[in-house]
């Protein structure tokens, strides 16, 4: 269900149509507002005041409250999932930023290490060929491998957080939809008890 459709449906349930307020007011008026004698209901079930069936009106009132509770529960669950979604998105962003910093730091450290090795070889009078070059190449290769592993691990961790964020977003949408459907069911049950 699209967000706009869901919002319009929720607004119509909670007030635009007015059925909710009308039903609650009618239940209240029937249960409390009318005086009259309480006499046993003719069919043998419940009691009646002025021709109104208390168990039916109480059930309609309860159904209305049940629908409101379902809507509020769905909204609360959706809010919780949305908070978790934002947390997972933030964790993914921080993981990517940390990996970029680690890659930069690794690059700086590699250049420093290679420079120090060159200076050491030069200070010892070793020419930059053969074994000396092999040592420098091995150092650079190992640092590049470390950097690639750091980036790969960060991508995998960020992908996990991104997937979790998507799942939380879907769960939030489903929770809100379930709350709206529960509210529709409660209002329909209330209307059925009051008007049929």
Give 92-98's long-range contacts (Cβ < 8 A, gap of 24+): 92/158, 92/159, 92/161, 92/162, 92/165, 95/154, 95/157, 95/158, 95/161, 96/154, 96/158, 98/154
Domain spans of the chain? 3-195
The pLDDT of residue 73 is 87
Q: Report pLDDT digits (tens) over 84-116.
A: 999 999 999 999 999 999 989 988 998 898 888
The pLDDT of residue 118 is 85
Contact 37, 49 (CB under 8 A): yes
Q: Report pLDDT digits (tens) over 7-42.
A: 665 565 555 445 545 555 555 555 444 444 444 334
The pLDDT of residue 71 is 82
Give me the chain's average pLDDT, please. Answer: 76
């Amino acid at each position: 269900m699209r967000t706009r459709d869901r919002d319009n449906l929720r607004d119509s349930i909670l007030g635009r149509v007015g059925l909710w307020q009308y039903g609650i007011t009618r239940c209240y008026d029937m249960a409390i507002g009318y005086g009259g004698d309480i006499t046993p209901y003719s069919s043998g079930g419940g009691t009646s005041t002025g021709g109104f069936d208390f168990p039916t009106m109480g059930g309609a009132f309860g159904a209305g409250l049940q629908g409101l509770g379902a809507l509020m529960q769905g909204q609360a669950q959706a809010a919780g999932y949305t908070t978790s979604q934002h947390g997972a998105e933030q964790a993914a962003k921080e993981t990517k930023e940390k990996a970029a910093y680690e890659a930069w730091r690794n690059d700086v450290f590699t250049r420093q290490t290679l420079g120090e090795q060159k200076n050491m070889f030069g200070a010892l009078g070793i020419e930059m060929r053969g074994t000396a070059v092999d040592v420098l190449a091995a150092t650079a290769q190992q640092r590049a491998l470390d950097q690639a592993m750091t980036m790969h691990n960060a991508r995998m961790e960020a992908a996990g957080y991104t997937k979790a964020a998507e799942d939380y977003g879907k769960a939030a949408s489903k929770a809100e939809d379930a709350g709206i459907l529960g509210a529709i069911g409660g209002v329909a049950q209330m209307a059925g008890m009051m008007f049929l």
